[in-house]
Protein backbone atom coordinates (compact mmCIF):
# COMPACT_ATOMS: atom_id res chain seq x y z
CA UNK A 1 0.00 0.00 0.00
CA UNK A 2 1.27 3.44 -0.90
CA UNK A 3 0.97 6.20 1.70
CA UNK A 4 0.57 9.80 0.58
CA UNK A 5 1.65 12.61 2.82
CA UNK A 6 1.34 16.37 2.27
CA UNK A 7 4.46 17.75 3.93
CA UNK A 8 3.80 21.50 3.69
CA UNK A 9 5.20 24.03 1.21
CA UNK A 10 3.40 22.16 -1.57
CA UNK A 11 5.52 19.01 -1.20
CA UNK A 12 3.83 15.61 -1.53
CA UNK A 13 5.61 12.44 -0.41
CA UNK A 14 4.43 8.99 -1.56
CA UNK A 15 6.06 5.92 -0.03
CA UNK A 16 5.68 2.24 0.62
CA UNK A 17 7.51 -0.42 2.60
CA UNK A 18 6.46 -3.04 0.02
CA UNK A 19 9.38 -4.35 -2.01
CA UNK A 20 7.10 -4.84 -5.01
CA UNK A 21 4.03 -2.69 -5.60
CA UNK A 22 3.54 -1.89 -9.27
CA UNK A 23 -0.16 -1.39 -9.86
CA UNK A 24 0.78 1.07 -12.53
CA UNK A 25 3.59 0.47 -15.04
CA UNK A 26 4.69 1.89 -18.38
CA UNK A 27 6.24 -0.29 -21.07
CA UNK A 28 9.11 2.21 -21.52
CA UNK A 29 10.00 1.77 -17.85
CA UNK A 30 9.69 -2.02 -17.92
CA UNK A 31 11.99 -2.11 -20.95
CA UNK A 32 14.72 -0.25 -19.06
CA UNK A 33 14.96 -2.91 -16.34
CA UNK A 34 13.97 -6.01 -18.32
CA UNK A 35 17.44 -7.53 -17.89
CA UNK A 36 18.03 -6.25 -14.36
CA UNK A 37 18.06 -8.46 -11.27
CA UNK A 38 14.58 -8.82 -9.68
CA UNK A 39 15.40 -6.53 -6.73
CA UNK A 40 16.43 -3.72 -9.10
CA UNK A 41 13.31 -4.23 -11.24
CA UNK A 42 11.16 -4.08 -8.11
CA UNK A 43 12.69 -0.87 -6.73
CA UNK A 44 12.75 0.90 -10.12
CA UNK A 45 9.11 0.16 -10.94
CA UNK A 46 7.68 0.49 -7.42
CA UNK A 47 9.25 3.90 -6.82
CA UNK A 48 7.75 5.11 -10.10
CA UNK A 49 4.33 3.90 -9.02
CA UNK A 50 4.86 6.00 -5.85
CA UNK A 51 5.90 8.99 -7.98
CA UNK A 52 2.75 8.79 -10.11
CA UNK A 53 0.59 8.81 -6.99
CA UNK A 54 2.44 11.89 -5.75
CA UNK A 55 2.14 13.61 -9.15
CA UNK A 56 -1.58 12.85 -9.21
CA UNK A 57 -1.90 14.57 -5.81
CA UNK A 58 -0.49 17.81 -7.28
CA UNK A 59 -2.71 17.63 -10.35
CA UNK A 60 -0.64 15.77 -12.96
CA UNK A 61 -1.82 12.90 -15.15
CA UNK A 62 -0.20 9.48 -15.61
CA UNK A 63 3.15 9.50 -17.36
CA UNK A 64 6.31 7.44 -17.58
CA UNK A 65 9.18 8.71 -15.42
CA UNK A 66 12.30 7.96 -17.38
CA UNK A 67 15.92 8.60 -16.35
CA UNK A 68 17.94 11.23 -18.19
CA UNK A 69 21.48 10.65 -19.44
CA UNK A 70 22.71 11.66 -15.97
CA UNK A 71 20.36 9.04 -14.39
CA UNK A 72 18.28 11.77 -12.72
CA UNK A 73 14.54 11.25 -13.25
CA UNK A 74 12.86 13.52 -15.82
CA UNK A 75 9.81 15.31 -14.42
CA UNK A 76 7.12 17.43 -16.09
CA UNK A 77 8.47 20.93 -16.86
CA UNK A 78 6.70 22.62 -13.97
CA UNK A 79 7.55 19.96 -11.35
CA UNK A 80 10.59 19.07 -9.27
CA UNK A 81 10.89 15.65 -7.73
CA UNK A 82 13.21 13.07 -6.25
CA UNK A 83 13.21 9.28 -5.90
CA UNK A 84 14.87 6.97 -3.39
CA UNK A 85 14.81 3.30 -2.45
CA UNK A 86 16.45 1.03 0.07
CA UNK A 87 15.42 -2.20 1.76
CA UNK A 88 11.98 -1.55 3.28
CA UNK A 89 11.41 1.84 1.66
CA UNK A 90 10.59 3.19 -1.78
CA UNK A 91 9.70 6.88 -1.77
CA UNK A 92 9.06 9.79 -4.13
CA UNK A 93 8.72 13.49 -3.34
CA UNK A 94 7.28 16.01 -5.80
CA UNK A 95 6.51 19.71 -5.71
CA UNK A 96 5.24 22.26 -8.20
CA UNK A 97 8.00 24.58 -9.46
CA UNK A 98 5.93 27.47 -8.05
CA UNK A 99 6.81 26.22 -4.57
CA UNK A 100 10.44 25.12 -4.87
CA UNK A 101 13.48 25.29 -7.13
CA UNK A 102 14.56 21.77 -6.31
CA UNK A 103 14.11 18.85 -3.90
CA UNK A 104 16.23 15.89 -2.87
CA UNK A 105 15.10 12.77 -1.01
CA UNK A 106 17.14 9.91 0.42
CA UNK A 107 16.31 6.76 2.41
CA UNK A 108 18.84 4.63 4.26
CA UNK A 109 18.65 1.76 6.73
CA UNK A 110 18.59 3.00 10.34
CA UNK A 111 21.98 1.58 11.21
CA UNK A 112 25.62 2.74 11.45
CA UNK A 113 27.74 2.81 8.31
CA UNK A 114 30.90 0.68 8.26
CA UNK A 115 33.88 2.42 9.88
CA UNK A 116 36.02 2.29 6.74
CA UNK A 117 33.32 4.14 4.76
CA UNK A 118 33.04 6.87 7.38
CA UNK A 119 36.33 8.52 6.37
CA UNK A 120 35.09 8.70 2.78
CA UNK A 121 31.80 10.29 3.84
CA UNK A 122 32.80 12.71 6.61
CA UNK A 123 35.63 15.19 6.15
CA UNK A 124 38.17 15.74 8.96
CA UNK A 125 36.36 19.05 9.74
CA UNK A 126 33.02 17.23 10.09
CA UNK A 127 34.64 14.55 12.23
CA UNK A 128 36.06 17.25 14.53
CA UNK A 129 32.73 19.05 14.75
CA UNK A 130 30.51 16.00 15.31
CA UNK A 131 32.79 13.69 17.26
CA UNK A 132 33.61 9.97 17.00
CA UNK A 133 30.81 8.86 19.33
CA UNK A 134 28.13 10.50 17.20
CA UNK A 135 29.59 9.41 13.86
CA UNK A 136 30.13 5.77 14.85
CA UNK A 137 26.38 5.40 15.54
CA UNK A 138 23.48 6.21 13.21
CA UNK A 139 24.92 9.74 13.10
CA UNK A 140 27.42 8.70 10.44
CA UNK A 141 24.56 7.35 8.33
CA UNK A 142 22.72 10.63 8.82
CA UNK A 143 25.69 12.59 7.44
CA UNK A 144 25.83 10.25 4.43
CA UNK A 145 22.09 10.51 3.78
CA UNK A 146 22.00 14.30 4.17
CA UNK A 147 24.75 14.51 1.52
CA UNK A 148 22.87 12.19 -0.84
CA UNK A 149 19.67 14.27 -0.51
CA UNK A 150 21.67 17.49 -0.95
CA UNK A 151 23.49 16.04 -3.97
CA UNK A 152 20.15 15.29 -5.67
CA UNK A 153 18.78 18.76 -4.92
CA UNK A 154 22.00 20.51 -6.00
CA UNK A 155 22.16 18.49 -9.19
CA UNK A 156 18.89 20.08 -10.34
CA UNK A 157 20.46 23.49 -9.66
CA UNK A 158 23.38 22.63 -11.93
CA UNK A 159 26.04 21.58 -9.38
CA UNK A 160 27.20 18.19 -10.62
CA UNK A 161 29.97 15.60 -10.17
CA UNK A 162 30.40 15.99 -6.44
CA UNK A 163 32.67 14.16 -4.02
CA UNK A 164 31.36 13.68 -0.46
CA UNK A 165 34.10 15.89 1.02
CA UNK A 166 32.92 18.78 -1.17
CA UNK A 167 29.80 18.90 1.01
CA UNK A 168 29.80 19.99 4.65
CA UNK A 169 26.89 18.98 6.90
CA UNK A 170 25.92 20.94 9.97
CA UNK A 171 23.21 19.64 12.29
CA UNK A 172 20.93 21.19 14.87
CA UNK A 173 21.85 20.39 18.47
CA UNK A 174 18.98 17.89 18.89
CA UNK A 175 20.12 15.91 15.86
CA UNK A 176 23.63 15.61 17.25
CA UNK A 177 22.06 13.77 20.19
CA UNK A 178 20.85 11.29 17.56
CA UNK A 179 20.47 8.43 19.98
CA UNK A 180 17.99 10.56 21.96
CA UNK A 181 15.77 11.95 19.22
CA UNK A 182 14.31 10.72 15.97
CA UNK A 183 14.00 13.79 13.79
CA UNK A 184 15.75 17.08 13.23
CA UNK A 185 17.17 19.47 10.67
CA UNK A 186 20.46 20.03 8.87
CA UNK A 187 22.25 22.41 6.54
CA UNK A 188 24.53 21.21 3.75
CA UNK A 189 27.06 23.59 2.21
CA UNK A 190 28.92 23.01 -1.03
CA UNK A 191 32.37 24.02 0.14
CA UNK A 192 33.69 25.44 -3.17
CA UNK A 193 30.66 27.48 -4.24
CA UNK A 194 29.09 28.30 -0.86
CA UNK A 195 25.74 26.97 -2.14
CA UNK A 196 23.76 26.06 0.97
CA UNK A 197 20.62 23.92 1.24
CA UNK A 198 18.46 23.09 4.25
CA UNK A 199 16.87 19.76 5.05
CA UNK A 200 15.06 17.66 7.61
CA UNK A 201 15.50 14.08 8.71
CA UNK A 202 13.12 11.61 10.27
CA UNK A 203 13.09 8.01 11.48
CA UNK A 204 10.35 5.88 9.94
CA UNK A 205 10.40 2.41 11.39
CA UNK A 206 13.81 0.96 10.42
CA UNK A 207 14.52 3.68 7.86
CA UNK A 208 16.27 7.03 8.02
CA UNK A 209 14.74 9.57 5.64
CA UNK A 210 16.37 12.87 4.68
CA UNK A 211 14.72 15.56 2.59
CA UNK A 212 16.07 18.81 1.15
CA UNK A 213 13.87 21.53 -0.32
CA UNK A 214 15.29 24.58 -2.05
CA UNK A 215 12.69 27.34 -1.78
CA UNK A 216 11.44 29.16 -4.88
CA UNK A 217 12.98 32.47 -3.78
CA UNK A 218 16.68 32.99 -4.69
CA UNK A 219 19.36 31.33 -2.57
CA UNK A 220 22.30 33.16 -1.05
CA UNK A 221 25.22 32.36 -3.37
CA UNK A 222 27.81 32.41 -0.58
CA UNK A 223 27.63 32.32 3.16
CA UNK A 224 28.61 35.63 4.73
CA UNK A 225 31.96 35.54 6.49
C1 LIG B 1 22.89 9.30 -7.52
C2 LIG B 1 22.97 8.95 -6.05
C3 LIG B 1 22.69 10.22 -5.24
C4 LIG B 1 21.91 7.89 -5.75
O5 LIG B 1 21.83 7.64 -4.39
P6 LIG B 1 21.69 6.15 -3.77
O7 LIG B 1 21.70 6.28 -2.28
O8 LIG B 1 22.70 5.29 -4.42
O9 LIG B 1 20.30 5.62 -4.22
P10 LIG B 1 18.82 6.15 -3.91
O11 LIG B 1 17.96 4.97 -3.90
O12 LIG B 1 18.76 7.06 -2.73
O13 LIG B 1 18.51 7.04 -5.19
C14 LIG B 1 18.45 6.45 -6.45
C15 LIG B 1 17.67 7.38 -7.34
O16 LIG B 1 18.35 8.65 -7.43
C17 LIG B 1 17.96 9.23 -8.66
N18 LIG B 1 19.15 9.80 -9.25
C19 LIG B 1 20.15 9.18 -9.91
N20 LIG B 1 21.06 10.07 -10.31
C21 LIG B 1 20.62 11.29 -9.91
C22 LIG B 1 21.13 12.61 -10.04
N23 LIG B 1 22.27 12.86 -10.67
N24 LIG B 1 20.41 13.63 -9.51
C25 LIG B 1 19.24 13.40 -8.89
N26 LIG B 1 18.70 12.14 -8.74
C27 LIG B 1 19.40 11.11 -9.24
C28 LIG B 1 17.32 8.14 -9.53
O29 LIG B 1 15.93 8.39 -9.57
C30 LIG B 1 17.62 6.88 -8.74
O31 LIG B 1 16.60 5.92 -8.80
P32 LIG B 1 16.31 5.07 -10.16
O33 LIG B 1 17.65 4.63 -10.65
O34 LIG B 1 15.42 3.97 -9.72
O35 LIG B 1 15.65 6.06 -11.09
C36 LIG B 1 24.37 8.41 -5.66
O37 LIG B 1 24.56 7.16 -6.24
C38 LIG B 1 25.52 9.33 -6.07
O39 LIG B 1 26.05 9.21 -7.15
N40 LIG B 1 25.91 10.26 -5.23
C41 LIG B 1 26.94 11.25 -5.57
C42 LIG B 1 28.14 11.15 -4.73
C43 LIG B 1 28.08 12.03 -3.54
O44 LIG B 1 28.54 13.17 -3.51
N45 LIG B 1 27.45 11.56 -2.50
C46 LIG B 1 27.41 12.36 -1.29
C47 LIG B 1 27.14 11.47 -0.14
S48 LIG B 1 28.54 10.67 0.51
> Cα dist. 5→13, 50, 98, 116 in Å?
5, 11, 19, 36
State mean pLDDT over 78-104. 97
Q: Which pLDDT does position 126 carry in this prediction?
A: 94
Residue of 151, 167, 169 to test ligand 1 pocket, by largest number of atoms within 8 Å of CB: 151
Ligand 1 atom 17: residue of nearest CA = 72
Second CATH level (architecture) for the domain 3-98: Alpha-Beta Complex (3.90)
- Residue range(s) of every CATH 3.90.470.20 domain in the chain: 3-98
Q: Which pLDDT does position 153 carry in this prediction?
A: 97
Three-state DSSP state, 108: strand
Question: Of ligand 1's atoms, which has the minimum distance to the CA of residue 150?
Answer: 46
Name the pTM for this structure.
Answer: 0.94
Ligand 1 atom 14: residue of nearest CA = 84
Inter-residue contact 73 to 66 (CB < 8 Å): yes
- Fold adopted by 112-215: Ribosomal Protein L22; Chain A (3.90.470)
Provide the pLDDT confidence category of residue 222 given band limits of 50, 70 and 90: low
Would you say the C-alpha torsion 45, 46, 49, 55 has a positive or negative sign? negative
Amino acid sequence: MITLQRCGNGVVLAFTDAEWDVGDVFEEEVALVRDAVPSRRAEFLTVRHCARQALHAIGHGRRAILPGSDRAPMWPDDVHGSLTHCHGMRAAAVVSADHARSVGLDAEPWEPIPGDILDLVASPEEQDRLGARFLSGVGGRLIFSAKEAAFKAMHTLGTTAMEPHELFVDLDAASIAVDLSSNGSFVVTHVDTGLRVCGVWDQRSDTLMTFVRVPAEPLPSRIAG
